[in-house]
Structure 1
Amino acid sequence: MERQLPKNVRQIGNVSDNPKIYVEDYVDTYLNQLREKAKEQPVGVILAGEVLELEDEKAVFVSGAVQMQELSEKDGKLEIGQDGMKHMMEEAAQYFPESHIVGWGIVEEGNPMSRNREVKKIQEREFGQEGSLFLWKNAREQDEIFYAYKFGELMQIGGHYIYYEKNPEMQNYMINTRKENGVTPSEVVEDRAAKNFRSAVREKIEYKEQHQSSAFAYITSAVLVLIVLVIGITTVNNFDKMKAVQNSLETLSETVGGGQADAKTRTETAETAKNNAKEASGTVKKAEGTTTSETSDGQLSDQDYYVVQKGETLAGISQKLYGDTSHVKAICKMNGLSDGNLIYIGQKLLLP
């Protein structure tokens, strides 16, 4: 199937530059996990993916990342031996057979300007094709910068997109190399499943609210116009009656406006309750095939989640399941909750 521009994306920075860069969410999460290891020494990665011409623009899709085990630092300068580079290229081809090498990157402390010469030297020697990428990522902060090799120079790209799709190749690489790379793929899979499910539910709720609100406004307007026409015809020759009609219409408009707000509130409440029920029943289905819980078929067991009961809080659930409240933060992290108080009856919480 021919690739198209993804619709479900998250924009990072200014994306007006060329080429357009799309980084798959699993790859982005994996690169962020390497930051902890990079606090001790620089960590290099090879970026795999494809380069396409879409909608008259050049687009680079980064769907895989392989850690450079042979990258070393000597006297403050980065070094990659020829044998090491050959081994990394073979590893990239093994895990991402349908992809091509589209660039490389470094996760480290400091700033990218300090390595201009050595980075350009490696870029020209190993990744010299026009449009190839270089990524610099800060080990301690959220800073990251993409560069594209154009006209013999590394030119900074103002921003990129994060896109979401099934990526079994990247998941497989993370699982098979978790010990040597120091990442935890199970947490990534669980976080991704929860994030995708919440995004789908939110989009569905917003669409229904917008659709129903528009329909209600249309019906209300039609009824109001009909009333005006009927009353207008019967009172066209009577000024006193027209005056009374004017007052009635003002009162009617206020009533309809208030009724629309009340109806919208009732609609939102009903839809929220309905979607909460769907969310509770659908969480396990969404996580199927992507979680790495230790069950025979890859699905969540009863011990992997907890169903929220009436009046419960995360602190109470932690006390109930673990005997203390110290697990609240872990439960929030596992379920992507920014506010521990925003839980609802019937919600299924993944357990650490």
Structure 2
Amino acid sequence: MAEERQETGKKKGNEKGEVSRNLPRNYRQIGEPGAKKIYVEDYVYTYLNKLAQPENLYARGAILFGKMYKTTIGKCMFISGAAACQNFELDLDETIFSEENWGEIYRIRDSFFPELEICGWFLSRMGFSVDLNDKIIRIHMDNFSGENKVLYMIDALENEDAFYQFENYSLKKQRGYYIYYETNQEMKNYMLAEGEMGRMPERGRRSETIKRDTAVVKNYKKALRKKKSLRPKSAFANPAYVAGGLVAAMVLIYGVRSAVQYQGNQKMQEVFQQQEMTDAKNVTGAQQGEEETDTVSKIETTQNSENEVVSDEKAGSSEISEESNSESAVQDTEASETQTTEKTQQTWGSIGGYYTVKRGDTLAGISKKMYQSYNYIEMIAEANGIDNVDEIYPGQILEIPQIED
């Protein structure tokens, strides 16, 4: 959102030693700036976006030069100078500001921006978003921890940028900022000395800023097409393969259940046979008791009656035993089914596959997610030819090796 202001940019001091200035005449608003407003001069903004172009795959960094001014809307940070810092082109773990680095930074400031202060730094990491992590916070705390010091981040691949400002011992993300346009001979001289002005015609200066979004989207789509062409074809994407796997699984499960049911039926038949034999014995005993009743006295008849009562009690206890055997057979059947299901789950748990990297993923997190352990980071890296375990990017297809039992 662009807004025009008809105010001069003159600077002056007051009795308290504070430097004040009027707001820029022309500026463009990005987002919704908060109470502490940040103004970035257009030459600086264009220079930083050149450092963050999609073909720059390594981390790129720069030192920001500016000053805090008192304005009619409060204190505002004006950034009107920037210089590339070569030690950011390595991994962030190796980014160290030595005395030699600081000596070169102060030499550039004294040569091109003598009236400005070091007000923060810039960082571009292709495909890593503009969110903070422990390494970035550590670098800022060790080198730029002063109050109101800023960090400007760009991810050209995701078309994102963000300003952070150091407040109350922590970095606070700002909701927006301003790009302002005015004569900036100091930055122009630095870019001429660095050879950047040859690629920035004066007539197209503002158009570089306005057309940035279109160029980033075009490069992003090109990168996606290239990444898609290099993506390995997965066997799991074939519908016939998936259908065959499902059928095989169903046949396996059905066969296991059938075997369990067959074993249960055999045990039930054995129980029924034992019951039939017991019933036959009871019938034979009853017939013999009737024959003896015809030949013995009434006293013997009474004794036979008592024997029949005892026989009935034995028959009852036999039935109770048969019911216990039946319940035991059912429990054995259920235990067999449970063991079979656990074996089936163990079989499917060892199958590998592929994983698509998402923003914020690390090999350690992927190892924990896929294997429930951090012990397989090197195995995943070796399977995918990754030399540096920190260099993975969103959308990358990783092969997840199968764990041998």
Higher-Rg structure is 2
The normalised TM-score by structure 1 is 0.50
The normalised TM-score by structure 2 is 0.44
Q: Which has the higher contact order (CA 8 A, sep 6+)?
A: 1
